[in-house]
A and B are shown apart, each in its own frame.
Chain A
């Protein structure tokens, strides 16, 4: 069961520089000194990494109480000694506190001050004085501590050791070897936190350096953190190299827009250009880490193809228009349309989603609005209404902290490393520190699962519902039984968005949670999905999780919005809106950040060609190609707002850049105004205030769906069932403009089990041709020892394996696989 350390009773009291402090047993002296307000210089020490004592900068003098005398009281404290008669300094970052210990730091001990200066002098022997051209200069712990704990002159007279610079550890991370002080922060981070030990300290003595394995590049999703925690300028990011100095940056706290993890970040910008983003420390959410996508994928807004002005289609061609004209044309077009729907997309802030939700109900008079620009189902809508909407950390929903202390975590249709990397880091930490057992119902045991010490409960795509039912029943393979028993002791079930594609799976997941008492959380992939759900950008839900079918909830919202009433029939979901657009039932649509390819629409012309399309977009997409009016909107750096992370935790962010771009809510407000409605979404404050005053619905929560699993389809001879999800780094449009980041994206490979490969006569490394419903792709084959048979896994949207655009196919399809070159 969960072990919570009882802190209050296990305190150890010691004296540091004459100040008495009480810290939890097992604390390090350096942490205890921080408690006392004393800063000991350090390089290798990092609170989130295991102690190593590599740099020796944190030396202190330690006195221990002597052995007890006849009356039982300890005799006079004795100094810890090295050679006879000489004090031996101790590294405070590796030594734990003991009762009665007396510690003297550089503040009170001259000998320690001298020792620290000596260590600093040695560290600086080989460290180049290239601070003027070093990216770390100005924010460098070595620079700062050389000032505070070093001597002003060096006695070193030889020429310094130099290396040719710099070495590419990956396409994004560069290493200047002569700057390295061998603190091993980067290698420890990669090994311990990320679980990608692709870098290590190699060679010996003065030649020791950080190196990579020749055959395996440093392709980690978390490599950017090594750049951030490097205490010198040895590791730098290629994207930021020589771009700026710390002192001309303006920093704005922000929240990452790339996934539902909700990382706190810092956006550093200079004169209207974002230069870099750093992870901010938020212990409850991302710790002090983020992923490379959050750190480096911000260039999409500056690749040069932004819509700067509204555009209006005239004689089949888009042309630049003024805002009043564009709004007039859009209002007229939507006014003339018989019925219109709203596709929000999963990337907008909660305030924007709220404006879309209000716009659909008030101005268009419809519930045809959905944020799910991905495979989805009606079952998912019921599941979200029953088990997800309105939950949050305050209401006792699953949090990151709960993941860290859970005894068992079951992952259903969810690959944390690719789909919510901070959840992955938290689960890996839980596995390392808390022995949390992780089970995954998935077709393939990924490397990410191995890093969490996870166990695979293999399930071919489409059979997840049966497998979950088997866990609930506690009958099946040994591992299923183990998982069932572990869950019954209390645990957490994390459900990914991909489970919506399997009929009955979400019903089974909810039933499993109810049966075992395990806590359930839904982890979407995109940052805006959870916020849009709460804001009511959903066919069956109004803001605050109120049901469209609940008359009193409707009345409550209508009163707040000052309307006579709201449409009372549940709307079409995303697929329904697309089908209605195709059939002509809907002839108008307002599209937010939605790419038709994400909806599996290969023939956007048939869907959007006949309708009046108003697109609120940042950059050209397949949707804007059919837009009749394009209203340019702000990117996340240019607007303030709130994302809601998967926990249900609001993550507010400020606008980093001051531009003329407006957020979606403002554009919708102006459009509503033109159509004769007052939307009341002019400023972020106005929207947020209205959302707060409206609050959460108090109506009864619907019951969880109970959809029976579908009969699995028979797999024809020579065919395999396709399993797919997106890599974290792929061809996504929000990773555009950053070639160094793209260089670290995993290559597309087809994964099959060893047995399946043998049956098909294929071997590791073969180029295989995968024939899909509407196309084919050729990728290298990788055999996986632990994987469901008769299944092939391909990334959804990676180079060479774009199932989304070219092939318009989804998981669960049956595909034909041959060795490339064979007819």
Chain B
């Protein structure tokens, strides 16, 4: 069979040693696919499964009710939740405060990103849309402890119109009104409550000195 092959010809033989560079030369004029990470951070796909976030109602109260359905749904056992009762007793009378509308809130919330496989089943399980995923993907560290994210890290930042819980629900509204969209922003009463509490908080140490 081999003796039947034709000779490639004069020019082909002449350029054969540099033929491989043809690919190189042609690629030089193509668009570069290399991402300049981490100098340049490109957006992910819109529905990329990134780090979780615990959302808030428009007045700043947490949406999480501590039901643990996310923890139950998690195939990697990465989520730990402990619920507790919202307490409308005034804080000066020993009340623990209100963190969510309704009776129950998530007192402890942890996601272990060493275990999480970003499957999103927890998001599907969440009955209040408290847990969603962001597009944030920079989840690497040099120790294990820091990869267990706690509630403070996972909670969505306060946006305009929100005030930091604990504070009471919007006056005159029930839990269900929060899900019906009746709440649009923190009311003046809620703001006043939070301010009063923070004032009390800052004053307390000086009182103790006297």
Contact = CB atoms under 8 A, between A and B. Distances in A.
Interface of A: 132-133, 137-138, 165-166, 241-245, 247-248
A229 B69 CA distance: 24
A133 B72 contact: no
Contact of B69 (A132, A166, A241): A132
B104 interface: yes
A243 B108 CA distance: 11
Contacts of B69: 132
B72 A165 contact: no
Interface in B47-90: 65-69, 71-72, 82-85
Given A132-B127, A138-B72, 8 more contacts: A132-B67, A133-B83, A242-B83, A242-B84, A242-B104, A243-B82, A245-B72, A247-B68
B120 interface: no
A165 B88 CA distance: 13
7 contacts: A133-B102, A133-B104, A137-B67, A242-B104, A243-B83, A247-B72, A248-B71
B85 A245 contact: no
- In the complex, the 5 A-B pairs of residues with the closest C-beta atoms, listed nearest first: A132-B67, A242-B83, A133-B104, A132-B127, A245-B68
Nearest to A270: B82
Nearest to B83: A242
B152 interface: no
B186 to A, nearest CB: 23
B67 A241 contact: no
A132 B103 contact: no
Nearest to A241: B85
B85 A242 contact: yes
A269 to B, nearest CB: 14
Contacts of B68: 245, 247-248
A81 to B, nearest CB: 44
Contacts of A165: 103
A288 to B, nearest CB: 27
B65 A132 contact: yes
Looking at chain A's contact residues, the main secondary structure is loop
Nearest to A166: B103
Given A242-B103, A242-B104, A133 B65 contact: yes
A133 B103 CA distance: 8
Given A132-B127, A133-B103, A165-B103, A242 B66 contact: yes
A544 B52 CA distance: 63
A242 B87 CA distance: 12
Contacts of A132: 65, 67, 69, 127-128
Q: Of A133, A137, A166, A244, which is in contact with the most chain B CB atoms at under 10 Å from its CB?
A: A133
Nearest to A238: B85
B187 to A, nearest CB: 22
A639 to B, nearest CB: 26
A243 B105 CA distance: 11
B42 to A, nearest CB: 37
A242 B104 CA distance: 7
A132 B128 CA distance: 9
A138 B127 CA distance: 15
A42 B202 CA distance: 57
Contacts of B66: 133, 242
Q: Of B71, B103, B127, B128, which is in contact with the most chain A CB atoms at under 10 Å from its CB?
A: B103
A137 B102 CA distance: 17
A245 B67 contact: yes
A390 B82 CA distance: 48
Contacts of B102: 133
A247 B72 CA distance: 7
B148 to A, nearest CB: 14
B189 to A, nearest CB: 21
B103 A244 contact: no
Contacts of A248: 68, 71
Contacts of B103: 133, 165-166, 242
A137 B125 CA distance: 14
A241 B84 CA distance: 8
B26 to A, nearest CB: 59
B78 to A, nearest CB: 14
Contacts of B67: 132-133, 137, 245
Nearest to A130: B102
Contacts of A137: 67
Contacts of A243: 82-84
A274 to B, nearest CB: 15
A794 B83 CA distance: 42
A165 B65 CA distance: 16
Interface string B85-129: 100000000000000001110000000000000000000000110
Nearest to A247: B72
A175 to B, nearest CB: 14
Q: Of B67, B71, B85, which is in contact with the most chain A CB atoms at under 10 Å from its CB?
A: B67
Q: Of A165, A243, A245, A247, which is in contact with the most chain B CB atoms at under 10 Å from its CB?
A: A245
B146 to A, nearest CB: 21
